[in-house]
Chain A
Amino acid sequence: MAADRTYSHGPIEQEKWPDRLGAHVVTAEAAPRIHGYSVADDLARHYGFVETALLALTGEIPTEAQARAANIALVMLAPAPVATAPVHAAVLARLCGATSSALLGVGCLGLAEQAQTLLEPGQELVRWLHQPQGAPPEKYRAVDADDAARAQRFVELVRGTGLQLAPLDASSGLDAALILVLYRCGLKRTEQIAALIIMARLPCLVAEALACKARNFAAYPMRLPDFEYAEQP
């Protein structure tokens, strides 16, 4: 049997590359550390999951006020209604009998898109997060009086933790308040905030999807919403 033909004279061979992959958060060892703290001997004994998540994202252990405020924010963010696209898509994945990884992938992808839309990186939002005096950018203002009231109730809960929050304008919506709290918990980048939002919503999404019976196509409202096909003449 002839030997395989191989090639080794392309540009990838000609360049000089690092021979190791850089790690900046988790050590590569049997007993890993996160940002220097032993997982088994320290973090697991003395800290909760939210504190560990904030540590991983920011590089530092959060203050107790930050951890409690983040916990409240995560609980507030947890509801992921089936009416929303990520959960609806996950339900469809389950209906179709998707594998666990496919179901979770579909759901996480939808949640990531949803979070990105919420955060919509832009200088205006970043400026407001740095100095949240006055009204937030238009997109983050309360959509109605109920939204403004929900935002205020959330702010009052967070105040109880001791986390210092600049007064939010009365026009702020709940989204603005949630993002601001996570920012004050040390999450300065939209990717960091999005990560926590996805973590918060994933359990409800998965639970809602698992409540759907796979292959029970007749029970799924196929015309919700309905699509009307139209062709250009």
Chain B
Amino acid sequence: MTSENPVKLSTRVAYAGYDFHRFMGFGVFDDLAGKVSLTDLVAIAITGRRLSTAERDVLDDVAAISTVADPRIWLLKVAQLVASHGGALTGVAAALLNMDNRYVSGWRVSPVVARFLVQLRADLGDRADDVAASTDYFEAYLAREPIFPGFGIPFRPQDERLVALRACMHRRGRADLPYWRAMEQVAAIARSSRHLEPNILFGFAAACLDCGLAAEDIGPLSVVLVVHCFLANALESARQAPALLQRLPDVCIEYFGKPPRVSPRAADKTGTSQRAT
């Protein structure tokens, strides 16, 4: 084979030089080092652009508010279980992978919610702040779609994270921005007409859209902003390597499967019936 490669791909991610590195259009040493935060780097990785200070503060608020890391919660327990044999990184990887689900993570839900808000504002235009128009729009959406993502809070009456995010948005003067307003209006409609309560993903999507993020960027962002929760759980489990997590005691398991039985080949050999002794 010659030194010519058969295929060359184009990348916008990065280039590694001798005394310089480029990342998403930025010089690593010239533009980024000493000038940006971890949140900025994450935003650059996802969106390709630097956030304003105000926008970065919103993401930091969301990350702090989303720090619900109780290891009993399904997503977090995955990190503890997989790391329980000592591999913290494996635990984090497993938990991250499990974020690709339809019900309890922002990876898939946040973009759907964001697209709803974007479409609502695009379709209603000047009437986006009109309660009657938004109500009709919301009801029409529910007639088409059996599930409205971004609503529903397990085991408690309201999402305390959304309450906290709302306080942050007011404190930062962002509660009057268009997507946050639209989110609050739809939330009020859902609450009064359907007794549905919005969860953090609805508020998160609105806050991100008001930062100028695209709907498809919000899913990845929602995952990165909770990585610290997985990390804490995986590190703890890897350090403790608890036998209780590696294998639950037999008394903790209830078997609902098939009763004892004998296979056809074993029955042929021994002449026993299909019932195990």
Residues of A within 8 A of B (CB): 10-12, 14-15, 18-29, 33, 35-38, 41-43, 45-47, 59, 61, 99, 101-102, 105, 109, 223-232
Q: B155 and A15: CB pair below 8 A? A: yes
Q: Tally inter-chain residue pairs, CB-CB below 8 A.
A: 112
The answer, among A22, A26, A36, A45, for a CB contact under 8 Å with B276, is A36
Q: B263 and A225: CB pair below 8 A? A: no
Q: B15 and A229: CB pair below 8 A? A: yes
B: number of interface residues (CB 8 Å): 45
Q: B9 and A226: CB pair below 8 A? A: yes
Is B97 part of the binding interface, using a Cβ–Cβ cutoff of 8 Å?
A: yes
A-B contacts besides A19-B252, A223-B5, A229-B13, 5 pairs, CB < 8 Å:
A11-B155, A14-B155, A38-B260, A225-B5, A230-B12
Is B18 part of the binding interface, using a Cβ–Cβ cutoff of 8 Å?
A: no
The answer, among A15, A24, A28, A47, for a CB contact under 8 Å with B265, is A47
Q: B263 and A46: CB pair below 8 A? A: yes
Most chain-A CB neighbours within 10 Å: which of B85, B254, B269? B254
The answer, among A15, A29, A36, for a CB contact under 8 Å with B258, is A36
Question: Which residues of A lie under 8 Å from residue B255 when comparing CB positions?
Answer: 22-24, 27-28
Measured CB to CB, the closest approach of chain A to B34, in angstroms, equals 21
Is B93 part of the binding interface, using a Cβ–Cβ cutoff of 8 Å?
A: yes
| A230-B10 contact given A37-B262, A42-B266, CB 8 Å threshold | yes
Measured CB to CB, the closest approach of chain A to B6, in angstroms, equals 8
Question: Which residues of B lie under 8 Å from residue A228 when comparing CB positions?
Answer: 8-11
Measured CB to CB, the closest approach of chain B to A8, in angstroms, equals 12
Proximity bits, B141-181, A CB within 8 Å = 1, else 0: 00000000000001110000000000000000000000000
Q: A227 and B10: CB pair below 8 A? A: yes
Q: Which A-chain residue is minimally distant from B269 (CB atoms)?
A: A46
Q: A22 and B256: CB pair below 8 A? A: yes
Most chain-A CB neighbours within 10 Å: which of B22, B256, B257? B257
Is B220 part of the binding interface, using a Cβ–Cβ cutoff of 8 Å?
A: no
Q: A27 and B265: CB pair below 8 A? A: no
Q: How far is the CA of A116 from the CA of B177 in the complex (A)?
A: 41
Q: A25 and B276: CB pair below 8 A? A: no
Q: How far is the CA of A118 from the CA of B72 in the complex (A)?
A: 35
Is B271 part of the binding interface, using a Cβ–Cβ cutoff of 8 Å?
A: no
Q: Which B-chain residue is minimally distant from A46 (CB atoms)?
A: B265
Question: Which residues of B lie under 8 Å from residue A15 when comparing CB positions?
Answer: 155
The answer, among A11, A23, A229, for a CB contact under 8 Å with B256, is A23
Q: A230 and B90: CB pair below 8 A? A: no
Q: A229 and B14: CB pair below 8 A? A: yes
29 pairs, CB–CB < 8 Å, chain A vs chain B: A12-B155, A14-B155, A20-B253, A21-B254, A22-B256, A23-B255, A26-B257, A29-B250, A35-B258, A36-B258, A37-B261, A37-B263, A38-B276, A41-B266, A61-B263, A101-B87, A225-B5, A225-B7, A225-B8, A226-B8, A227-B8, A227-B9, A228-B8, A229-B12, A230-B11, A230-B12, A231-B22, A231-B25, A232-B25
| A23-B257 contact given A46-B263, A225-B8, A230-B10, CB 8 Å threshold | yes
Q: B257 and A12: CB pair below 8 A? A: no
Q: A21 and B87: CB pair below 8 A? A: no
Question: Which residues of A lie under 8 Å from residue B140 when comparing CB positions?
Answer: none
Q: B260 and A45: CB pair below 8 A? A: no
Most chain-B CB neighbours within 10 Å: which of A10, A61, A229? A229
